[in-house]
A and B are shown apart, each in its own frame.
Chain A
Amino acid sequence: GQQLNQSPQSMFIQEGEDVSMNCTSSSIFNTWLWYKQDPGEGPVLLIALYKAGELTSNGRLTAQFGITRKDSFLNISASIPSDVGIYFCAARATGRRALTFGSGTRLQVQP
Protein backbone atom coordinates (compact mmCIF):
# COMPACT_ATOMS: atom_id res chain seq x y z
CA GLY A 1 0.00 0.00 0.00
CA GLN A 2 0.92 3.66 -0.10
CA GLN A 3 3.30 4.71 2.64
CA LEU A 4 4.83 8.00 3.66
CA ASN A 5 8.27 7.96 5.25
CA GLN A 6 8.56 10.93 7.58
CA SER A 7 11.75 12.12 9.23
CA PRO A 8 13.08 12.89 11.67
CA GLN A 9 11.05 10.91 14.16
CA SER A 10 11.70 13.47 16.88
CA MET A 11 13.56 16.72 17.44
CA PHE A 12 14.62 18.60 20.54
CA ILE A 13 15.65 22.17 19.79
CA GLN A 14 16.24 25.49 21.49
CA GLU A 15 13.73 28.31 21.20
CA GLY A 16 14.58 30.49 18.22
CA GLU A 17 16.08 27.71 16.12
CA ASP A 18 14.75 26.71 12.72
CA VAL A 19 13.30 23.25 12.14
CA SER A 20 12.99 21.14 9.02
CA MET A 21 11.15 17.87 8.48
CA ASN A 22 10.24 15.94 5.37
CA CYS A 23 8.20 13.14 3.91
CA THR A 24 8.99 10.87 1.02
CA SER A 25 7.11 8.16 -0.79
CA SER A 26 7.56 5.73 -3.64
CA SER A 27 4.09 6.71 -4.87
CA ILE A 28 2.93 9.86 -6.63
CA PHE A 29 0.40 12.11 -4.90
CA ASN A 30 -1.56 15.13 -6.14
CA THR A 31 -1.94 16.81 -2.75
CA TRP A 32 0.42 17.17 0.19
CA LEU A 33 -0.75 18.46 3.55
CA TRP A 34 0.95 19.23 6.85
CA TYR A 35 -0.87 18.89 10.17
CA LYS A 36 -0.05 19.56 13.83
CA GLN A 37 -1.52 17.39 16.55
CA ASP A 38 -1.52 18.30 20.23
CA PRO A 39 -1.89 15.50 22.83
CA GLY A 40 -5.42 14.15 23.01
CA GLU A 41 -6.62 16.25 20.10
CA GLY A 42 -7.34 15.77 16.42
CA PRO A 43 -4.91 17.06 13.79
CA VAL A 44 -5.13 20.67 12.68
CA LEU A 45 -4.26 21.65 9.11
CA LEU A 46 -1.23 23.92 8.77
CA ILE A 47 -0.48 24.07 5.06
CA ALA A 48 -1.98 22.53 1.92
CA LEU A 49 -0.04 22.03 -1.34
CA TYR A 50 -1.70 21.21 -4.66
CA LYS A 51 0.92 21.69 -7.38
CA ALA A 52 4.29 20.06 -7.92
CA GLY A 53 7.00 22.57 -7.07
CA GLU A 54 4.59 24.76 -5.09
CA LEU A 55 6.12 26.63 -2.16
CA THR A 56 3.64 27.96 0.39
CA SER A 57 4.06 29.88 3.63
CA ASN A 58 1.82 30.30 6.64
CA GLY A 59 3.46 32.69 9.08
CA ARG A 60 6.68 31.08 10.27
CA LEU A 61 5.86 27.86 8.43
CA THR A 62 6.95 27.10 4.88
CA ALA A 63 6.23 23.93 2.96
CA GLN A 64 7.01 22.68 -0.52
CA PHE A 65 5.46 20.10 -2.81
CA GLY A 66 8.32 18.18 -4.44
CA ILE A 67 8.80 18.32 -8.19
CA THR A 68 8.58 14.54 -8.45
CA ARG A 69 5.26 14.62 -6.51
CA LYS A 70 6.75 12.00 -4.20
CA ASP A 71 7.96 14.24 -1.39
CA SER A 72 7.35 17.36 0.65
CA PHE A 73 9.12 19.29 3.39
CA LEU A 74 8.02 21.61 6.17
CA ASN A 75 10.22 24.32 7.70
CA ILE A 76 9.47 26.18 10.90
CA SER A 77 11.52 29.31 11.45
CA ALA A 78 12.35 30.92 14.79
CA SER A 79 10.66 28.23 16.85
CA ILE A 80 8.72 29.15 19.98
CA PRO A 81 7.54 26.96 22.89
CA SER A 82 3.99 26.68 21.51
CA ASP A 83 5.37 24.92 18.43
CA VAL A 84 5.68 21.83 20.61
CA GLY A 85 3.60 18.96 19.28
CA ILE A 86 3.53 16.22 16.69
CA TYR A 87 3.69 17.19 13.04
CA PHE A 88 2.27 14.88 10.39
CA CYS A 89 2.57 14.99 6.67
CA ALA A 90 -0.39 13.62 4.74
CA ALA A 91 -0.98 13.03 1.08
CA ARG A 92 -3.83 12.27 -1.23
CA ALA A 93 -3.65 10.28 -4.43
CA THR A 94 -5.60 11.01 -7.59
CA GLY A 95 -9.15 9.70 -7.37
CA ARG A 96 -9.13 9.33 -3.60
CA ARG A 97 -10.48 11.62 -0.89
CA ALA A 98 -8.96 9.77 2.05
CA LEU A 99 -5.51 10.75 3.28
CA THR A 100 -2.40 8.70 3.93
CA PHE A 101 -0.47 9.98 6.94
CA GLY A 102 3.24 9.95 7.68
CA SER A 103 4.58 8.54 10.93
CA GLY A 104 4.92 11.95 12.55
CA THR A 105 7.71 14.17 13.89
CA ARG A 106 7.61 14.90 17.60
CA LEU A 107 8.95 18.41 18.23
CA GLN A 108 10.11 19.67 21.59
CA VAL A 109 11.26 23.24 22.09
CA GLN A 110 13.44 24.24 25.02
CA PRO A 111 12.62 27.78 26.20
Chain B
Amino acid sequence: GAVVSQHPSWVICKSGTSVKIECRSLDFQATTMFWYRQFPKQSLMLMATSNEGSKATYEQGVEKDKFLINHASLTLSTLTVTSAHPEDSSFYICSAYPVAGGTEAFFGQGTRLTVV
Protein backbone atom coordinates (compact mmCIF):
# COMPACT_ATOMS: atom_id res chain seq x y z
CA GLY B 1 0.00 0.00 0.00
CA ALA B 2 0.87 3.66 -0.22
CA VAL B 3 3.48 4.89 2.23
CA VAL B 4 4.20 8.27 3.70
CA SER B 5 7.53 8.52 5.47
CA GLN B 6 8.67 11.19 7.90
CA HIS B 7 12.25 11.93 8.81
CA PRO B 8 13.51 12.05 11.42
CA SER B 9 11.29 9.88 13.62
CA TRP B 10 12.52 11.78 16.64
CA VAL B 11 14.79 14.72 17.28
CA ILE B 12 16.11 16.58 20.29
CA CYS B 13 17.31 20.14 19.83
CA LYS B 14 18.39 23.07 21.92
CA SER B 15 16.21 26.12 22.47
CA GLY B 16 16.78 28.74 19.82
CA THR B 17 17.83 26.36 17.09
CA SER B 18 15.83 25.34 14.01
CA VAL B 19 14.70 21.86 13.10
CA LYS B 20 13.58 20.54 9.71
CA ILE B 21 11.13 17.66 9.39
CA GLU B 22 10.60 15.93 6.05
CA CYS B 23 7.44 14.27 4.80
CA ARG B 24 7.79 12.07 1.72
CA SER B 25 5.22 10.14 -0.24
CA LEU B 26 7.22 7.09 -1.31
CA ASP B 27 5.10 5.57 -4.04
CA PHE B 28 2.65 8.25 -5.10
CA GLN B 29 2.53 11.93 -5.93
CA ALA B 30 0.77 14.42 -3.73
CA THR B 31 -0.06 18.01 -4.63
CA THR B 32 -1.43 18.58 -1.15
CA MET B 33 0.03 17.53 2.18
CA PHE B 34 -1.12 18.41 5.66
CA TRP B 35 0.82 19.04 8.84
CA TYR B 36 -0.70 18.23 12.22
CA ARG B 37 0.60 18.70 15.75
CA GLN B 38 -0.32 16.41 18.61
CA PHE B 39 0.48 17.18 22.25
CA PRO B 40 0.61 14.29 24.75
CA LYS B 41 -2.77 12.65 25.29
CA GLN B 42 -4.43 15.12 22.97
CA SER B 43 -5.90 15.06 19.51
CA LEU B 44 -4.32 15.92 16.18
CA MET B 45 -4.61 19.61 15.43
CA LEU B 46 -4.21 20.84 11.87
CA MET B 47 -1.39 23.35 11.54
CA ALA B 48 -1.23 24.02 7.82
CA THR B 49 -1.99 22.79 4.33
CA SER B 50 1.08 22.40 2.15
CA ASN B 51 0.53 23.03 -1.57
CA GLU B 52 3.08 21.96 -4.16
CA GLY B 53 4.51 24.96 -5.95
CA SER B 54 2.68 27.56 -3.90
CA LYS B 55 2.50 29.00 -0.41
CA ALA B 56 1.18 26.98 2.46
CA THR B 57 -2.15 27.82 4.06
CA TYR B 58 -1.91 28.15 7.83
CA GLU B 59 -4.65 27.57 10.37
CA GLN B 60 -5.64 30.38 12.68
CA GLY B 61 -3.17 30.82 15.51
CA VAL B 62 -0.26 29.07 13.77
CA GLU B 63 2.67 31.41 13.15
CA LYS B 64 3.77 31.09 9.55
CA ASP B 65 7.15 32.69 10.27
CA LYS B 66 7.86 30.15 12.98
CA PHE B 67 6.65 27.05 11.16
CA LEU B 68 8.07 27.30 7.65
CA ILE B 69 6.60 24.93 5.12
CA ASN B 70 8.09 24.15 1.75
CA HIS B 71 6.48 21.80 -0.79
CA ALA B 72 9.14 21.73 -3.45
CA SER B 73 8.06 18.60 -5.29
CA LEU B 74 5.10 16.26 -5.66
CA THR B 75 6.64 13.84 -3.17
CA LEU B 76 8.21 16.06 -0.52
CA SER B 77 7.03 18.64 1.98
CA THR B 78 9.20 20.01 4.75
CA LEU B 79 8.29 21.68 8.02
CA THR B 80 10.96 23.81 9.67
CA VAL B 81 10.44 24.84 13.26
CA THR B 82 12.47 28.01 13.64
CA SER B 83 13.89 29.30 16.91
CA ALA B 84 12.42 26.33 18.72
CA HIS B 85 11.30 26.64 22.34
CA PRO B 86 10.35 23.94 24.85
CA GLU B 87 6.65 24.64 24.25
CA ASP B 88 7.18 23.55 20.63
CA SER B 89 7.94 20.04 21.88
CA SER B 90 5.26 17.85 20.34
CA PHE B 91 4.48 15.03 17.93
CA TYR B 92 4.31 16.35 14.36
CA ILE B 93 2.42 14.26 11.81
CA CYS B 94 1.97 14.78 8.09
CA SER B 95 -0.57 13.31 5.70
CA ALA B 96 -0.83 13.25 1.92
CA TYR B 97 -3.56 12.67 -0.64
CA PRO B 98 -2.55 10.84 -3.81
CA VAL B 99 -2.93 12.98 -6.94
CA ALA B 100 -4.69 10.03 -8.54
CA GLY B 101 -7.42 10.31 -5.91
CA GLY B 102 -9.78 7.56 -4.93
CA THR B 103 -8.49 7.15 -1.38
CA GLU B 104 -8.27 8.95 1.88
CA ALA B 105 -5.01 10.60 2.89
CA PHE B 106 -2.14 8.48 4.14
CA PHE B 107 -0.41 9.50 7.36
CA GLY B 108 3.26 9.46 8.16
CA GLN B 109 4.57 7.76 11.29
CA GLY B 110 5.13 11.07 13.02
CA THR B 111 8.16 12.97 14.34
CA ARG B 112 8.69 13.44 18.06
CA LEU B 113 10.34 16.83 18.67
CA THR B 114 11.83 17.58 22.06
CA VAL B 115 13.27 21.04 22.66
CA VAL B 116 15.57 21.32 25.67
Contacts and interface: CB of A to CB of B under 8 A. Distances in A.
Given A97-B49, A98-B46, A42 B110 contact: yes
A98 B34 contact: yes
A99 B32 CA distance: 13
Contact of B109 (A41, A100, A101, A103): A41
A41 B36 CA distance: 13
Contacts of A45: 104
Residue of B43, B97, B109 with most chain A CB atoms under a 10 A cut-off: B43
Given A42-B93, A88-B43, A48 B104 contact: yes
B32 A42 contact: no
B54 interface: no
Interface residues of B, number: 23
B11 interface: no
Interface SS of A by simple majority: loop
Interface in A37-64: 40-45, 48
Interface in A42-97: 42-45, 48, 88, 97
B30 to A, nearest CB: 11
Contacts of B72: none
Q: Chain A, interface size: which category?
A: 10 to 19
A33 B49 CA distance: 19
10 contacts: A1-B60, A33-B104, A40-B110, A42-B6, A42-B108, A88-B43, A97-B49, A99-B44, A101-B45, A102-B43
Interface of B: 4, 6, 32, 34, 36, 42-46, 49, 60, 91, 93, 95, 97, 104-105, 107-110, 112
Interface of A: 1, 33, 40-45, 48, 88, 97-104
Given A40-B110, A98-B49, 20 more contacts: A42-B4, A42-B93, A42-B108, A42-B109, A43-B44, A45-B104, A97-B32, A97-B34, A97-B49, A97-B97, A97-B105, A98-B34, A98-B46, A99-B34, A99-B44, A99-B46, A99-B95, A100-B46, A101-B36, A104-B43
